Amino acid sequence: MPSPAATLRFLAAEGASRILGNTLLTLARSTAGFLLGLAAAAALGYLYTLHWAAREAVRALNTLLQSVSVLVWIIVFLILFGIYSPLPPVLVSAAVSLPILLSSIVAGLESSSRGLVELAAVLGAPRWRLYPDFLLPSLLPQLAGAARAALGAALRISVVAEAMGASGGIGYMIENYYSLAEPVGVFAWGLLLVALMVFLDQLVLARLERWVKEWATLPRR
């Protein structure tokens, strides 16, 4: 078990360029997967509002996505695209983010105010504008909280995908030092991952969530 001082010294010896390059690679993969999951969740939310059959299909799909293990997603994507492809970490992050975001959207739509629907009808808005112009904006406060959890999950899981098969990234470095029987390297890059997650959550996502909730409570003219 390496000491904290030895772990920090090892991390410092890795060099700024190596640390920055692998950190940004992991962050880019997890963010891309999160955005892909967010886009898919928003599209499925729109489908949810169209017809009762679509609602049942979206509910069933959400249940299915929540039931599939992350390990299954990783192995399937590695088989499909190969261990050196950049796609598995991105797609795994999307697969993890999607049910978190979709659950938030579905729950919000089921409890959405009937007044929004009536307001849209009074204003003469066509049915296809109800979701993007009225329902989805009303869901932003709770969706911001779900997005915070989803992006955190995407970052954690993308590292696992990198460790199982990827070129570069924090997960790749952890697996590399594990294969070399270098525990201090495993702890050093693991510490970097924890620091990245804390920084991203507290200094970026938490502030963004507060801003969205404050924006939602501002009086409208």
pLDDT greater at residue 91 or residue 132: 91
The arithmetic mean of pLDDT across residues 68-88, rounded, is 89
pLDDT digits (tens, 9 = 90+) for 13-57: 998 999 999 999 999 999 999 999 999 999 998 888 888 898 899
Q: Residue with structure tokens 């915070």?
A: 148
How open is the CA angle 68-71-77, to the nearest 5 degrees? 90
The arithmetic mean of pLDDT across residues 83-90, rounded, is 87
Candidates 113, 149, 162; CA nearest to 134 is 113
pLDDT of res. 32: 95
Question: What pTM does this model have?
Answer: 0.86
Domains and CATH numbers, the chain: 4-217 (1.10.3720.10)
